[in-house]
Amino acid sequence: MMHSILRFLFVLLLVIKPLTAAADNTILILGDSLSAAYGLKQEQGWVKLLQDKYDAEQTGVQLINASISGETTGGALRRLAGLLEEFQPSHVLVELGGNDGLRGFPIKKLQENLIALINTSKEADAKVAIMEIQIPPNYGPRYTGLFTDSFSSVAEKTDSHLMPFFVLNVATDSTLMLNDNIHPNKDAQPILRDVMYKSINNWLAD
């Protein structure tokens, strides 16, 4: 009888362990159009392509794409509490700030919002990564420099993981961009997937 019970428990553990592993790394992606597959079908975007890759590898990483085209740090902050409650992520990736910069929002407000996004996520027991964002230089060297430096500064202040800007190399190749020269096209998405596969895996192993 005892042997049968032990065997049952062993089999149960084999079943439960994969289910638990599948929930170990649930990553909420708070992004803008760069992660929202702007101008493309959702299945063509890098997030869906990366999820397909993780599924094929059976690594147990689940990506929750909460990205919205045109999103700002302030807009995401208003949505965050609800997203954290709904999905209960183990990790939150903040890929935001580009629209703040393009609209010339004050640097201080950008930093305050980023810190609030990070602190709110950490209060929900999520690990946080913040992506460094870069904007075109036509806003002037002072604003552009302060803008870019904000991300490493916030990451250091909040003890968060700093992730490199994932479209940097793609953005310099016109054949990989839509006609607006701002958003990566369909051909760029597998490249972005591979960049983010490396960056996210480095983050998870950190």
Could you give the strand order of the β-sheet that contains 61-65, starting from the edge strand earlier in sequence? 61-65, 25-31, 91-95, 127-131, 161-163
Alpha helix locations (H) across 23-93? Answer: 46-57, 73-87
Q: Give the active site residue among 33, 90, 160, 199.
A: 33
Q: Give the active site residue among 32, 150, 161, 183.
A: 183
Helix (H) or strand (E) holding 130: strand 127-131
Asked about 180 being catalytic, the answer comes back as yes
Asked about 91 being catalytic, the answer comes back as no
Query: What DSSP designation does 175 have?
Result: G
- Residues of 74-105 as b/e, b for ≥16 C-beta within 10 angstroms? bbbbeebeebbeebebbbbbbbbbbbbbbeeb
Q: How far apart are CA 38 and CA 70, in angstroms?
A: 10
Q: Give the active site residue among 3, 159, 180, 206.
A: 180
25 within 8 A of 61, measured Cβ to Cβ? yes
Q: How many residues does the chain have?
A: 206
Catalytic residues: 33, 180, 183
